[in-house]
Amino acid sequence: MHTIGDIHIYVSDFEAALRFWAEGLQLQIAEQEVSRYAAYAQLDFPDGGPSLRLFGRTAPWDPEARPAPDAHPHIRFDITTSDLDGLLVRLIEHGGEQLGEIETFDGLRLVALADPDGNAFELLEVPE
């Protein structure tokens, strides 16, 4: 048997990332530890599934060298929602960046976003 485990996200600004992921997605902070040198949080989705694990205080990109969001090799994941428009607005208000237009594919709406560090993912609207 195979299944996906937790998703690890490495961030340079832990407080901004926590605000984006926890408040923006309304995830529950199950664990959190912050020290002078490192920061960590486990965020759980209200309906279960893998957790998001934030690892903070990684070295930020030099502003001159930082690639555009979604411009470097990556692994992408979807976050499903029944309210794409409302969640999109909320995530942008919490520091996210919309990458392109909302698209429709096989009757489903989706849009790519980036968190404050440029980590890309997609919102996918599915019927309730």
Q: What is the pLDDT along the chain (128 residues), one digit of tens a residue?
A: 556 789 989 888 899 999 999 999 999 999 999 988 889 999 999 999 999 999 987 666 676 776 776 666 566 788 999 999 999 999 999 999 999 999 998 888 999 999 998 888 999 998 87
Whether 88 is covered by a domain: the verdict is yes
Residue 9 contacts residue 121 (beta carbons within 8 Å): no
Q: Which domain holds residue 97?
A: 7-59+75-125
Whether 87 is covered by a domain: the verdict is yes
Query: What confidence score (pLDDT) does residue 119 get?
Result: 87
- The Cα–Cα gap between 54 and 39 comes to 8
Whether 68 is covered by a domain: the verdict is no
Whether 106 is covered by a domain: the verdict is yes
Reduce the DSSP state of residue 128 to 3 states and report it.
coil
CATH of the domain at 99: 3.10.180.10
Total domain count, the chain: 1
Whether 1 is covered by a domain: the verdict is no
- The Cα–Cα gap between 12 and 61 comes to 8
DSSP element (H, E) containing 79:
strand 78-81
Whether 65 is covered by a domain: the verdict is no
Whether 66 is covered by a domain: the verdict is no
Whether 70 is covered by a domain: the verdict is no
Any residues with CB less than 8 A from the CB of 33 and at least 6 apart, and which? Answer: 39, 40, 41
Dihedral over alpha carbons 7, 25, 96, 75 (to 10 degrees): 20
Residue 68: how many other CB atoms lie within 10 Å: 10
Query: What confidence score (pLDDT) does residue 71 get?
Result: 66
